[in-house]
């Protein structure tokens, strides 16, 4: 870090004392952990993956000419080599991030290759879902034995693919309930990663991959009451947005705060999707029987996510005034009330359009207050998207539609010009 390089100069200039410089140096060394070359880590991981895939391709080219015994040896060879590398790393290179991550990545793929090859050699029956489940279960300990964040990321991709395979592409033959238990297995490592290396690239990738995985897989719980999943998704995105408001994420740049970005984007997309009348018309035609709703998995998932998001909302804003509440934070609560109203009244669709408009205005205001062009333009995009939706959904004349688009375009230009002018004034 540049601050560590400047310490000798600061000591020589008598800006700080030598004792203070030693404390600063010790602080950053403890914070960052053992020094490592990021490029070496990346190329080490890529090299391990490519070597593993290359070995598999070489074996596959001559596979039909090999005897069963030879095939079995080759099936276990990548697994043995991967374990030897991991053993050497734990004994001799435990402090090296590059060795830990690359050897763990190699062994991760070696496990999958060995399982598939043995199954093919001895004609063991099974399907892709069961193969992925066994593979991920065997690789879960690898995350903690090797302290490998790369193995954790590969594991998250694997369990997400498993959930999609058994509940989306094989529906309705099986369910992906094991996914939720498998996901819990990675959280201890994720917590330790945030605690010890909050600003590392591995934390950044985990911050994106975990909410994306949850967003993809949440839909697998839907069975016969799909409408309730809108409540579940609104609460999920509300929970993401509130998590993004926690201290360890607000201290980072907005583009690194995946929870806040996904929460805001997901909420906006859902609101725009439900701004049309078709959903509310079909909702009023559907009959919801209490005995069926109370046992539906969609109801319990929606209730659980709503309660968790509601508790987090209360904890974050209990000591703050209403003016401190961020625009996207209470939307999931408003939608629950709107959904209940939509069971009986067409007014729900009007309220959704009102929410979108107010959300856009408040987001523009927040961007102006924070002097943040990205937030300001996102608010303008929300209003633009609302205008486009109503362009296809109403019988307004082309003149009025044209005036609306011109007005939004002028709004984009005027607000950005005002913001840039304000920045120049502040700098002067």
Per-residue CA distances from 325 to 106, 202, 318, 322 (Å): 47, 31, 10, 5
Structure tokens at 322: 């209403």
Structure tokens at 38: 């990021």
Residues present in the chain in total: 428
Q: Which residues contact residue 205 at a Cβ distance below 8 angstroms, ignoring those fewer than 6 apart?
A: 149, 153
Per-residue pLDDT at 398 exceeds 70: no
Q: What is the pLDDT of residue 36?
A: 47
Mean pLDDT, residues 169-188: 83
Q: Which residues contact residue 310 at a Cβ distance below 8 angstroms, ignoring those fewer than 6 apart?
A: 333
Structure tokens at 360: 């856009």
* Radius of gyration for the alpha carbons in the chain, expressed in angstroms and rounded: 27
Could you give the CA distance from residue 210 to residue 190 in angstroms, rounded to a whole number? 10
Backbone φ and ψ for 96, nearest 5 degrees, come out as -90, 115
pTM comes to 0.81
CA dihedral over 18, 23, 28, 33, signed as positive or negative: positive
Given pLDDT bands bounded at 50, 70 and 90, which one contains residue 211?
Answer: very high
Could you give the CA distance from residue 198 to residue 31 in angstroms, rounded to a whole number? 9
Higher pLDDT, 157 or 53: 157
Distance from the first to the final alpha carbon of the chain: 31
Could you give the CA distance from residue 233 to residue 221 in angstroms, rounded to a whole number? 12
Could you give the CA distance from residue 96 to residue 36 in angstroms, rounded to a whole number? 7
Tell me the three state secondary structure of residue 88: helix
Structure tokens at 247: 């201290």
Tens digit of each residue's pLDDT (9 = 90 or more) over 66-87:
678 888 887 888 899 889 989 9
Could you give the CA distance from residue 246 to residue 385 in angstroms, rounded to a whole number? 29
Tens digit of each residue's pLDDT (9 = 90 or more) over 24-51:
766 665 554 444 456 556 666 677 667 6
Q: What is the pLDDT of residue 299?
A: 92
Q: What is the pLDDT of residue 155?
A: 96
Return the H-helix or E-strand segment holding 61: helix 38-61
Tens digit of each residue's pLDDT (9 = 90 or more) over 328-359:
999 999 999 999 999 998 899 999 999 999 99
Question: Shortest CA distance to 41 belongs to which of 183, 153, 120?
Answer: 153
DSSP string, 224-285: S-GGGHHHHHHHHHHHHHHHTTSHHHHTS-GGG-HHHHHHHHHHHHHHHHTTSHHHHHHHHH
CB 107 within 8 A of CB 154: no
Could you give the CA distance from residue 49 to residue 112 in angstroms, rounded to a whole number? 12
Q: Average model confidence (pLDDT) for the chain?
A: 83
Tens digit of each residue's pLDDT (9 = 90 or more) over 368-392:
888 778 888 888 889 888 888 877 7
């Amino acid at each position: 870090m540049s601050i560590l390089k400047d310490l000798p100069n600061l000591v020589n200039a008598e800006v700080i004392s030598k004792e203070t410089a030693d404390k600063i140096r010790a602080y950053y060394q403890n914070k960052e952990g053992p020094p490592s070359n990021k490029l070496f880590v990346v190329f080490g991981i890529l090299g391990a993956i490519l070597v593993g895939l290359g070995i598999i391709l070489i074996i596959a080219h001559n596979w039909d000419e090999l005897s069963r015994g030879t095939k079995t040896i080759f099936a276990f060879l990548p697994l043995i080599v991967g374990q030897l590398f991991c053993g050497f790393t734990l004994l001799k290179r435990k402090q090296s991030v590059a060795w830990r991550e690359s050897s763990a990545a190699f062994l991760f793929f070696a496990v999958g290759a060995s399982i598939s090859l043995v199954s093919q050699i001895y004609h063991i029956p099974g399907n892709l879902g069961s193969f992925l489940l066994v593979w991920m279960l065997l690789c879960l300990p690898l995350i903690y034995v090797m302290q490998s964040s790369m193995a954790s990321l590969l594991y998250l991709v694997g369990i997400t693919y498993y959930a999609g395979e058994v509940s989306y592409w094989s529906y309705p033959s099986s369910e992906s309930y094991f996914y939720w238990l498998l996901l819990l297995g990675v959280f201890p490592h994720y917590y330790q990663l945030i605690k010890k290396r909050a600003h590392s690239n591995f934390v950044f990738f985990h911050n994106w991959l975990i909410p994306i995985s949850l967003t993809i897989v949440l839909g697998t719980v839907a069975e016969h009451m799909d409408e309730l999943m809108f409540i579940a998704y609104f609460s999920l995105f509300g929970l993401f947005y509130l998590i993004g408001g926690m201290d360890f994420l607000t201290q980072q740049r907005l583009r690194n705060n995946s929870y806040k970005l996904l929460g805001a984007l997901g909420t906006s997309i859902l609101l725009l999707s439900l701004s049309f009348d078709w959903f509310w018309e079909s909702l009023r035609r559907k009959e919801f029987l209490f005995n069926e709703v109370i046992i539906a998995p969609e109801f319990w998932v929606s209730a659980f996510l709503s309660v968790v998001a509601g508790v987090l909302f209360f904890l974050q804003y209990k000591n703050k005034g209403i003016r401190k509440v961020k625009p996207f934070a209470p939307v999931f609560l408003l939608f629950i009330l709107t959904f209940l109203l939509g069971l009986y009244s067409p007014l729900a669709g009007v309220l959704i359009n009102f929410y979108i408009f107010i959300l856009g205005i408040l987001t523009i205001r927040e961007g102006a207050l924070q002097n943040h062009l990205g937030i300001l333009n996102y608010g303008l995009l929300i209003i633009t998207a609302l205008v486009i939706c109503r362009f296809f959904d109403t019988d307004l004349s082309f003149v009025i539609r044209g005036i609306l688009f011109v007005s939004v375009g002028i709004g984009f230009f005027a607000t950005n010009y005002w913001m840039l002018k304000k920045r120049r004034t502040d700098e002067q």
